[in-house]
């Protein structure tokens, strides 16, 4: 089917919906935060007990726009029995037909289902907050900014470099029984033979052929196999409040 747009309607002969408008950005922009626009959705302490502040800014998430026009105040709390790491996220929920900003509370063990993305539920992480059981006020030093993993990028047009990023809690990694390794796959990579891959564990860059190996496992996908024992240990020995995330960044030359 050939689709096009947009023209003014005459007697109802040109009708469009929200998806038609959103799909206009597909192939031009990645989902992410608009860098340099207002305050870039920075998360800081509200200097008022257990409250945080999300500053103004704009983002695309699943090609729907979200615009925080003024400071948004959100509440967090401490658990009485265990330390916790909470995430401040942008979310897209197709079933509820809404986007928003919220705090996702950490859990004592396993994976918080609110941090698991699906075809109809997407996230952009802005920051995480470490909250001990005794916490009574949130300071800027308690907040770790992770927006640098989520800036919006040009994917084509005049861009020469594209970036494909994927995040995962270590508890969502797959396990390869024959190799005895955990792994993660990054799909939909153009010009894959020239792709450069960077891998991070809890914000620290990992070393290829020491901490991980990578393979082209499909026509346009790269699989990263983790050989670093810290990841296996972290999965089998859950640590309260630990961030425990991996990020894979694949950079490709879009002009080759």
CA dihedral (79, 82, 88, 90) positive or negative? negative
Coil/strand/helix, residue 2: coil
Rounded to whole angstroms, how far apart are CA atoms 225 and 119? 24
Backbone angles phi, psi at 72, to 5 degrees: -110, 125
Say whether pLDDT at 159 is over 50: no
For the stretch 162-191, pLDDT in tens is 566 666 666 667 888 888 888 888 877 777
Tokens encoding 232:
């296996």
Query: What domains, with CATH codes, occur in the chain?
Result: 32-149 (2.80.20), 161-253 (2.60.40)
Closest CA to 224 of 250, 190, 244: 250
**How many CB atoms neighbour CB 198 within 10 A?**
14
Rounded to two decimals, the pTM is 0.63
CA separation for the pair 34, 13 (Å, rounded): 35
Q: What angle do CA 185, 186, 189 make, to 5 degrees?
A: 140
Confidence at residue 236, expressed as pLDDT on a 0 to 100 scale: 67
End-to-end Cα, the chain, rounded Å: 29
Which one of 38-47, 162-171, 207-216, 231-240 scores highest in mean pLDDT? Answer: 38-47
pLDDT of residue 106: 83
Nearest CA to 168 out of 220, 226, 229 is that of 226
- Report the chain's mean pLDDT, rounded to a whole number: 81
Of 11-20, 162-171, 191-200, minimum mean pLDDT range: 162-171
């Amino acid at each position: 089917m050939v689709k096009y747009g947009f023209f003014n309607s005459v007697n109802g002969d040109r009708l469009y919906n929200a998806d038609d408008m959103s799909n206009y950005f597909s192939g031009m922009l990645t989902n992410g935060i608009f860098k340099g626009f207002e305050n870039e959705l920075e998360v800081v302490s509200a200097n008022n007990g257990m409250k945080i502040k999300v500053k103004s800014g704009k983002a695309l998430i699943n090609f729907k726009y979200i615009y925080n026009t003024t400071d948004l105040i959100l509440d967090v709390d401490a658990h009485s029995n265990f330390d916790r790491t909470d995430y401040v996220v942008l979310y897209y929920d197709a079933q509820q037909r809404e986007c928003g900003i919220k705090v996702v509370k950490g859990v004592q063990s396993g994976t918080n289902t609110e941090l698991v993305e699906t075809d109809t539920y997407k996230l952009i992480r802005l920051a995480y907050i470490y909250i001990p059981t005794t916490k009574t006020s949130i300071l800027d030093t308690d907040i770790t900014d992770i927006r640098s993993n989520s800036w919006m990028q040009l994917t084509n047009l005049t861009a020469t470099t594209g970036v494909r990023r994927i995040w995962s809690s270590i508890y969502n990694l797959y396990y390869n029984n024959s190799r005895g390794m955990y792994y993660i796959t990054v799909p939909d990579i153009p010009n894959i033979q020239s792709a450069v891959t960077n891998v991070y564990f809890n914000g620290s860059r990992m070393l290829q052929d020491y901490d991980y190996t990578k393979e082209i496992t499909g026509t346009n996908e790269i699989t990263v196999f983790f050989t670093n024992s810290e990841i296996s240990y972290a999965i089998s020995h859950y640590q309260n409040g630990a961030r425990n995330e991996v990020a894979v960044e694949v950079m490709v030359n879009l002009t080759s």
